[in-house]
Amino acid sequence: MTASVLFAWELGDGLGHVSRLLRIADRLRSAGLACRFVVRNLELAGRAVQSAGFEVLQSPIARVEAIRGPDGTQPVTVGDILGAIGFGSVDRLSPVVAGWHGLVELTRPDLVVTDYAPTMNLALFGGPVPWVPIGDGFTLPPSETERFLPFRRARPAYDEERLLSVVAQVQAERGRPTPDRLPRLFEGSARFVITLPELDPWRRVRATPAIGPIDPPPQPVESVPTEAFFAYLSAGFPYTERVLEGLLASGRTGSVFLRDSTAAQREGWRQRGLPVWDAPQDLRAMAARAEVIVHHGGVGTAEQTLGLGRPQLLVPRHFEQFANADSLGALGVAVGLRGGGRFTVEDVGLALAAVIDGDRYRERAALRARELAERPPAALDAVVAECIDLATRAQGAT
């Protein structure tokens, strides 16, 4: 009988979570295992899963409440994220956990692999099915700590003891044990932080370091750039327009891709002299012609740009991107603009000049890229081997 694996994605936007799960599933299928998916956004991710030849189901969707903490609306710990999706209320949490449990009962997997799926993690906790949570440094917090570590110096919106008491009530209803601390929900039978160790914000407290991205960073570009910048930004970010004004006012050449922009927005910037692409561009091709990559600081773009060997100018929008900006700044390869729009049009030009004028950012970016290129690409092999072992052992036990 064929061992089976269920892949689950609950939180987060875009295709990043499903894309890396698909890479694992493809390898497991080649090894003879049966794989199926449960995803948050069926319209966005379902087609990608279907196109890869896998069955796809709709996940339970937890309503995300706005965070209203004593020190603002941004999460202070992972506990605030859990509270926002229902971990602060038995009435909200219990039916969503039951929904995840029902999917496990329906599909009867020998193993579950989760990516940013804390409610599925709870549904699996203390049960018979082994599970492997994966994620980057932000989505897979350390399980070694007594409490979730803070993202910033502020008071959390949700009390962790209260969240744990809700979890205990839900688990008691199900006849399942309660974790002795909430970080254990991200422990699993095995766990893999799949990002560059340098970009893991919790690297100093993890017992086991990050193993690198599923797909290793690209090889460094060798060409001499002919333009100053390539910017990959979101049109929906309130301060993107200010960044574009700064790039335009700098007098330097470059081009932009604006995600979620309208044709009218793109044409408006072109009329002012700023080249804007209609479609996403290959980052390697853009890095070959641009001295600096300007982006929000997402982990995928950050990893790729590190591998390509280009300095970065960052416009972070939320904690994960601010943490990446801090890590890249510590490596000496990036400059970040201040959050909350606390920068001017002139600041954008000054930051761009700081990265371009002089050699230190260029030299450090090239050095880091050479170092990454020498690392063996072992992450995917490690995850696949562990999944095969856990799934086949679980199948044998049943």
Per-residue pLDDT tens digits for 206-249: 999 999 999 888 999 999 999 999 999 999 999 999 999 999 99
Total number of domains constituting the chain: 2
Do 387 and 356 lie in one domain? The reply is: no
* In contact, 64 and 81? CB cutoff 8 Å: no
Is 282 part of any domain? yes
Is 220 part of any domain? no
How far are the Cα atoms of 8, 206, 256, 289, 342 from residue 353, in angstroms, in the given order? 44, 37, 18, 17, 18
Is 221 part of any domain? no
Instruction: Give me the domain span that covers residue 171.
Output: 4-215+377-397
Q: Where are the beta strands (DSSP E) in the chain?
A: 4-9, 34-39, 55-58, 111-115, 131-135, 192-193, 227-234, 254-259, 276-277, 290-295, 312-314, 334-336
Express each pLDDT in 54-111 by its tens digit. 999 999 999 999 999 998 888 999 999 999 999 999 999 999 999 999 999 999 999 9
Is 49 part of any domain? yes
* In contact, 112 and 38? CB cutoff 8 Å: no
Do 292 and 388 lie in one domain? The reply is: no
Do 208 and 237 lie in one domain? The reply is: no
Query: Which one-letter amino acid corresponds to residue 389?
Result: D
Do 181 and 247 lie in one domain? The reply is: no
Q: Comparing 252 with 322, which gets the higher pLDDT?
A: 252
Rounded CA gap, 225 and 254, in Å? 11
pLDDT value at 398 more than 70: no
Do 126 and 249 lie in one domain? The reply is: no
Do 235 and 360 lie in one domain? The reply is: yes
Do 79 and 159 lie in one domain? The reply is: yes
Do 386 and 284 lie in one domain? The reply is: no
Do 102 and 194 lie in one domain? The reply is: yes
* Among 13, 120, 17, 138, CA closest to 77: 138
Q: What is the CATH number of the domain that holds 121?
A: 3.40.50.2000
Do 324 and 382 lie in one domain? The reply is: no
pLDDT of residue 395: 82
